[in-house]
Structures are given as C-alpha cells and as structure tokens.
C-alpha cells in the first residue's frame, strides 16, 4: 500500500509541471514564469526592458531616474507589456539584494554589435 501511495504521489508531482525553489516556498511565481526544471532562482531578467523580477520578494526591480527601485507592480509606462509574451532569462547563482551590482557586472556589453567595426582591406 505504501508503495502504491509513493508511486501515485510521484505521478501527481510529475504531472503538475515544473517546480521552483525559492527562499519563500509559500509564494507562487508569477504567471509568466514557467521553468522547465528544478532550479534555485531568485531573479528573472527581461533584457528587452531591463526589468528584473525578484521571486523571493515578489517585486519588480527596474531603473527609475537612474536609481534601481523595487515595486510590487510596474509603473504605468510599462502597462502595455505582457511579460508572458517576452523573453526572459533566469538569473542563476545570485541571491544578493544588490541587483545594480549584478546588472553592471553581467550586462556591460549587452546590446552592442560588431556592425560598427570597419573591416580592413587586404
């Protein structure tokens, strides 16, 4: 009987979809966050808008007048955005509160291309 319960439990858990581990397991991730495997993730980054979402604090983190701010909801200037339809990146192995430092260290070259480099003539 115990084996049957364990097997049924595994089937139910496996069919429920992905599992996210955060420091606050009682809080579900937002509807646009659907990871495909077990991960420890605190932040999700939307590179198109330079917006982070803190899964632990359930807040958006973004630049407002040159200052990184944390808010429960995005301001009206982002009201046209449906985050479920935009690409995001999981920020792995970063649990610190200071997202500015992470952003500066990891997004310095983002958005640059080699198109402006002139090729040498042979």
Domain ranges in the chain? 16-106
The model's pTM is: 0.60
Q: How high is the pLDDT of residue 41?
A: 87
Which long-range contacts (C-beta less than 8 Å, at least 24 apart) are formed by 5-14?
A: none
Q: In the predicted model, is pLDDT for residue 24 greater than 60?
A: no
Q: Which pLDDT belongs to residue 93?
A: 84
Whether residue 99 contacts residue 68, with contact meaning beta carbons closer than 8 Å, is answered with yes
Residue 78's Cβ-count burial label (10 Å; 0-12, 13-18, 19+) is middle
> b or e along 26-36 (b: 16 or more beta carbons within 10 Å of the residue's beta carbon)?
eeebeeebeee
Check if the beta carbon of residue 56 is closer than 8 Å to that of residue 22. yes
Token pair listed for 35? 């990871």
For 27-44, how does the pLDDT look when each residue is reduced to its tens digit (9 = 90+)?
A: 666 766 665 556 678 999
Q: What are 48-68's pLDDT values in tens digits?
A: 999 999 999 999 999 999 999
Is the pLDDT assigned to residue 10 strictly greater than 60? no
């Amino acid at each position: 009987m115990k084996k049957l319960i364990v097997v049924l439990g595994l089937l139910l858990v496996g069919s429920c979809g992905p599992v996210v581990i955060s420091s606050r397991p009682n809080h579900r991730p937002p509807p646009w966050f659907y990871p495909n495997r077990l991960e420890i993730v605190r932040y999700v980054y939307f590179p198109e808008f330079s917006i982070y979402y803190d899964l632990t604090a359930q807040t958006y983190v973004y630049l407002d007048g040159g200052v990184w701010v944390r808010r429960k909801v995005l301001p009206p200037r982002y009201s046209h955005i449906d985050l479920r339809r935009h690409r995001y990146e999981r920020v792995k192995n970063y649990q610190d509160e200071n997202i500015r430092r992470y952003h500066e260290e990891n997004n310095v070259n983002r958005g640059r291309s080699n198109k402006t480099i002139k090729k040498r003539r042979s």
